[in-house]
Amino acid sequence: MTIFSRTSSLALFAVTLGLASCSKDDTVTPSAPTLRAKMDYTALTGTTPYTTSFKDANGTSTVDLGTAAVRLDMFSEFNSYMATVAVAAPATPATLELARLRNFYTGANAPFSATALNTAASAGVQLRDKTAASFSEANANQVRSYMDTKLAELALASQSVNQVATPGNAGRLGRYLVDGKGFEVNQIIQKGLLGALLLDQINNVLLTPASLAADNSKVVAGKTYTEREHIWDMAYGYMTSNATMVTDIAITPRERFLAGYLNEKNGPASPGVYLAFLKGRAAIVNGDDATLKAQADIIRTELEKTIAKSAVSYLTSWKSHATLDAKAHALAEGIGFIYSLRFCTKAGADTAWADSVLNGITSGSQGAWSLTNAQADAGIAAINAKFSL
């Protein structure tokens, strides 16, 4: 009886200790024994190429950026089409077809110039279904409907691309097309998708503890990578398709989209984010879950700060610019980034909070035309407080 009681007590203590030392929110399921040779974290630097540094025992790369890199290219071509309404002389601005805008967003009817992108689209790869994918279906559909509405607003505004904008009337301010409320809609769409598509996929879908608990004990059938390795690679693919991510805004060609704004608006953090991608991938190889979680936290935190700092920067620029065209361009970028704040879940932002900031900027009777410095200051203060900027 004594032996039984002591054994039971020890077992109960062990179970209790195990439960007390981990939580669902901040741990990753322990890896199975590693498949690869251990990697030295100190050998990883800012010049270490991500796409060629992780190999199997045969020397074959285990990195595949997959459909993330494809979507990044789709986003680029979609954005280029939207930008044809904002060109400098002597180029001629173009009206936009709503059907084509929708095709770029959904991948329907082979809208891309690159055959590989159309082939991927025909296989079901698109931008719309990954928009707000971490949300419930009902809430995700609200975000997708918002983007659908903005596409329609952009197409309508583009019918006035050769007119001068005035309050209540769409047209151009300098090189920029604005709608009747003075909002440059293509910029709102682009910056909104930086959050709704790219940030959401990286932070809220791929680099969560639940996703990083994926199997790491064997390679996926017919592939060279494990499921966990591929999830991490996809997160990198939504940042860049470059072998080594550029971390300096002064270096050209510049990074696209989220990585570009990381360099521009949160530059001191950019080298650390790239190193975190490298160390996190090495941690998966090493079966080192503590290091893996730490690197995911670095990436998620700094990308959210990038969105927040971008929103503040553009609202500040709107206040400081002297000309209507420059003010309109800065404001639209700021509005798009404010919309994206709802995806900054690590900082505790959500849809209700983001909408409260957004409405404070956009709900005036004449939109951008009637926006005041006091309204912009209120938005800046709210974002600074939420993100401790």
pLDDT score of 28: 54
**SS3 call for 61:** strand
Lowest-pLDDT range, 85-94, 106-115, 150-159, 348-357?
Answer: 85-94
Provide the β-strand partners of residue 172: 164, 177
- pLDDT for residue 12: 35
pLDDT of residue 34: 58
Tokens of 214: 């994926």
User: Could you tell me which residues come within 8 angstroms of residue 62 by beta carbon, excluding any fewer than 6 positions away?
Assistant: 36, 54, 55, 56, 219, 224, 225, 226, 229
Quickly tell me which residue has 């639209």 as its tokens: 332
Provide mean pLDDT across the span 338-343: 98
For the cut 70, the answer to whether the pLDDT of residue 177 exceeds it is yes
User: For 59-78, what is the mean pLDDT?
Assistant: 98
State CA 162 to chain mean position distance.
33
Instruction: Encode pLDDT of 103-152 as tens digits.
Output: 999 999 999 999 999 999 999 999 999 999 999 999 999 999 999 999 99
Which own/partner pairs from 239-242 qualify as long-range (CB within 8 Å, at least 24 positions apart)? 239/198, 239/202, 239/277, 240/72, 241/65, 241/69, 241/72, 241/73
Q: What is the pLDDT of residues 180-223, one digit of tens each?
A: 999 999 999 999 999 999 999 999 999 999 999 999 999 999 99
Q: How far is CA 190 from CA 85, 194, 221, 387, in A?
A: 14, 6, 36, 22
- For the stretch 229-264, pLDDT in tens is 999 999 999 999 999 999 999 999 999 999 999 999
Residue 21, pLDDT > 50, answer: no
Res. 365 pLDDT band, cuts 50 70 90: confident
Residue 309 pLDDT grade (very low, low, confident, very high; cuts 50, 70, 90): very high
**Cis ω before 271 (30° cut-off from 0):** no
Identify whether the C-beta of residue 284 lies closer than 8 Å to the C-beta of residue 216. Answer: yes
Cross-strand bridge partners of residue 260: none
Helix (H), strand (E) at residue 331: helix 324-340
- What does DSSP assign to residue 230? H
pLDDT band at 88 (very low <50, low <70, confident <90, very high): confident
Mean pLDDT of the chain: 92
22 pLDDT more than 80:
no
* Amino acid 10: pLDDT: 34
